[in-house]
Amino acid sequence: MFGYYLDLALRSLKRNKVLTVLMVLAIAVGIGASMTTLTVMHILSGDPLPGRSAHLFYAQLNPDIARPHAKEPAYVMDYHSAMDLWGAHRADRQALIVNSAIKVVAPESAVPPLQLDMLSTTTDFFPMFGVPFHYGSGWSADDDAQHARVVVISDDLNNKLFGGANSVGRTLRLGRSDLHIVGVLKPWRPAPLFYEAWGNYTRPQDVMTPLTSGLEINDGHFMQFTCWDMPSTPGHLQNAPCEWVGLWVQLDDAAKVSAYKQFLGDYAAQQKSLGRFTSGVTRLRSLMQWLDYLGVVPDDVRLQNWLAFAFLAICLFNTIGLLLAKFLRRSGEIGVRRALGASRAAIFAQCLVEAGLLGLLGGIGGWLLTMAGLWLVRRQPTDYADLIRLDLPMFLATFAVAIATSVLAGVLPAWRACRVAPALQLKAL
């Protein structure tokens, strides 16, 4: 029966080509616009570490004595608190996050000096976030403790400075210090850059050093996230009234999560009673909760998404109207089929098949327009431009949404069509 309906639908679509093209075009434009923005949303709001993110938590507390009544803790913490929490080793794994800019030169390479962002962190960073290595590996806890002059570099920087060769064992000069390369990453592009409190889609840093070493080699060049009083020595923040260090912990089961929450709360309460804090507020957000709190998906992208769906709704109304016109114009034909014994359900099904076929055609057009739309998005000067592509789920979703909306649009016209009174139509013939 389905084949027969399909045949009828094809004939009907061929009969009035202009109307068919109008309808397919309307569906295609609506689907193209909404799937473009939906794909961007899907990519930007995705999980940067699928499989791991559920066990990763970001610890926050409020060291800012000038905000005693703040409902939310600070985005990052002061050095003192970060070292206390880290030193307690209460989590399965833990990583401190500090950022600074530094001049980078490879003495063996002819590439001129580069000013790059340096991530200073601790040994667990690599296994905890599943960072893939091309050559070598991360550094050890011993390296952290001994302020070892070691560095891990990105695939990008390795290509730039060493032509992609295995550079483990070579020397890299950061500022005035010579560091030993111990690891080269594979291309790694978590999106968003979740471990930073900026909430954006920039690439991970090109050079990564142990925190203990980083603080020494780039002393005087650390930037605060914010301060509640002037630091006495700008750029040297270890004892400054400033927030600038992030702390990530890995907690493998629920009991550990609640235990860590307790530990964090107790620490803040203790600091408050000691007079170092004025607020006891703390948060332990999971990775996805943290991204949600930061609001990483840009406002403009959300706005475009709203717009696109309003647009799809207009296209839907349009399709309903046109299908209604199309089906009712064929009242005579429907009357004959009814008189020859077709049930109302059969007419209804036939109309929906026709609507679905329109949806499929509109979906093909919509897919092409989505590709064009994504190409436009990639040409925008955004941090995330290189991430935007149509993956398989979104490709399938394009057709699913196209067919679903057009079948939905077809329900009302089909219901009207199947209620056509055969006798009246036959008399008119």
Could you say whether residue 184 binds another protein (CB under 8 A)?
Answer: no
Question: Which of 7, 11, 15, 317 forms a contact with another protein (CB under 8 A)?
Answer: 317
Judged by CB under 8 A, the chain residues 221 through 240 that form the site for another protein are 221, 229-230, 234
327 within 8 A of 351, measured Cβ to Cβ: yes
Token couple for 144: 């952290």
Helix (H, G, I), strand (E, B) or coil at 53: helix
Q: Which amino acid is at 364?
A: I
- Least CB distance to another protein at residue 68 (A): 14
Q: Tell me which residue of 21, 45, 34 sits closest to 316, measured CA to CA.
A: 34
Judged by CB under 8 A, the chain residues 323 through 342 that form the site for another protein are 324-326, 328-329
Cα–chain-centroid distance for residue 84? 32
Question: Which of 12, 30, 43, 417 forms a contact with another protein (CB under 8 A)?
Answer: 30
- Least CB distance to another protein at residue 396 (A): 24
Q: Which amino acid is at 320?
A: I
| Nearest-5° Cα angle at 235, 233 to 237 | 75
Partners of residue 226 on adjacent β-strands: 243
Could you say whether residue 19 binds another protein (CB under 8 A)?
Answer: yes
Non-local CB neighbours of 288 within 8 Å, separated by 6+ positions:
47, 53
Could you say whether residue 311 binds another protein (CB under 8 A)?
Answer: yes
Could you say whether residue 412 binds another protein (CB under 8 A)?
Answer: yes
With 0-12 / 13-18 / 19 or more C-beta atoms within 10 angstroms meaning exposed / middle / buried, residue 230 is: exposed
Select 127 or 295, whichever has its Cβ closest to another protein: 295
Question: Which of 9, 13, 24, 29 forms a contact with another protein (CB under 8 A)?
Answer: 29
Could you say whether residue 31 binds another protein (CB under 8 A)?
Answer: no
For the chain, how far is it from start to end, CA to CA, in angstroms?
27
Could you say whether residue 303 binds another protein (CB under 8 A)?
Answer: yes
Could you say whether residue 375 binds another protein (CB under 8 A)?
Answer: no
Binding site for another protein (CB under 8 A): 19, 22-23, 25-26, 29-30, 33, 101-103, 112-115, 175-176, 220-221, 229-230, 234, 299-300, 302-304, 306-308, 310-311, 313-315, 317-318, 320-322, 324-326, 328-329, 380-382, 412, 416, 428
